[in-house]
Structure 1
């Protein structure tokens, strides 16, 4: 019988590690798998979980194992490859950006955000943030202020397989993971995508 895979997050200083574990149904015991293909460690990820320089004085690192675990994904499944949980300091606010899908209004305040406004080629943005074409046409943009006291995960993208023809590798581009986002943001503005060709 195939072992059940779960993720266990361990924070060591500012480095976050994730590992696949196997649970043996007969014994009920959980052991870290030794097989290379079953282990996901930070060395397989690229980029940094440190805040952007402009944000460094506005955030404090904190522990929230459940929030971190929710943000991490298995290889080829998207989400984050690695991450660190932070809290916005009292009296501070951060401007964040989300490109989303207008055909699903509920996606405006989804979990995945960016530290800067998207620019450049759409294909490059998709690759940097591992956004499969099935998930969103990226035809809306919302800019908000993340309120003081909010928790977020800063991390780098996990690989994502969109189809048999398209797989995005891990990315160094930083992404933000939030939960219950609508309650954490304010002063939002929304923009429409328009055609632009080079």
Structure 2
């Protein structure tokens, strides 16, 4: 009963007692209060680290260091690919420079021939069925019929973005929506208005898919 007040503080401030050392009690108290006040802000800070992630969303999967690519810093390129929930695109992404002529694949809509050499590709050959491919890559029916596939190689020196998929909320007539996906997608900023600015070459003739 004659214990000093110091022992009565711990039950009321257990977080402070765990963080502070015996010789740094006051410093530990300050740190604990700040940590408690800011605990809800920590997850967004972690998500904002490289690779870049969309805010206020739960991405799935991970980006592993690919062969033939070197990571670079290109915030402008990332800003055009990492999207908020419901918008498709990437949930998290990392910019890279191509150091090897890697093979990429694109599934596109034959009714829109200008889209054959568009911006969204993959490193793995596409596999059906079509509906499963839509879910894995968050592609709404009104965006693409997904009935042709083209294979190309990336030009060395090109700058691209790879990452995992963001959720997509489709047009009401599609009667579909897709959650975030761990599927790795490849963003290639091709300029179809100028063939000299396309970042792909050595393309194989289009084929019906799936």
Same fold (TM over 0.5): yes
- Which of 61, 64, 83 lines up with 2:71 in the alignment? 61
Give 1:151 shift. Answer: 0.9
- Equivalent position of 2:179 in the other structure: 169
CA–CA distance in 2 between the matches of 1:122 and 1:185?
A: 25
TM-score (norm 1): 0.73
CA–CA distance in 2 between the matches of 1:133 and 1:87?
A: 32
Residue by residue over 1:117-158, the C-alpha shift from the partner in whole angstroms, topping out at 9 and shown as x without a partner, is 111311111100001111111111110000110111110111
Note if contact 1:50-1:154 (Cα within 8 Å) is conserved in structure 2: no
- Gapped runs of 5+ residues in structure 1? 1-9, 20-38
Q: Does 1:192 pair with 2:187?
A: no
1:103 aligned counterpart, secondary structure:
coil
CA–CA distance in 2 between the matches of 1:86 and 1:178?
A: 11
Q: Does 1:76 pair with 2:76?
A: no
Higher strand share: 1
- Which of 123, 129, 150 lines up with 1:142 in the alignment? 150
CA–CA distance in 1 between the matches of 2:51 and 2:188?
A: 19
Runs of 4+ deviating beyond 4 Å:
none
Equivalenced residue count is: 157
- Equivalent position of 2:52 in the other structure: 16
Higher helix share: 2
Residue by residue over 1:141-180, the C-alpha shift from the partner in whole angstroms, topping out at 9 and shown as x without a partner, is 1100001101111101111111443110000000001112
- Which of 139, 151, 172 lines up with 2:159 in the alignment? 151
Note if contact 1:161-1:168 (Cα within 8 Å) is conserved in structure 2: yes
The higher radius of gyration belongs to 2
Note if contact 1:87-1:150 (Cα within 8 Å) is conserved in structure 2: yes
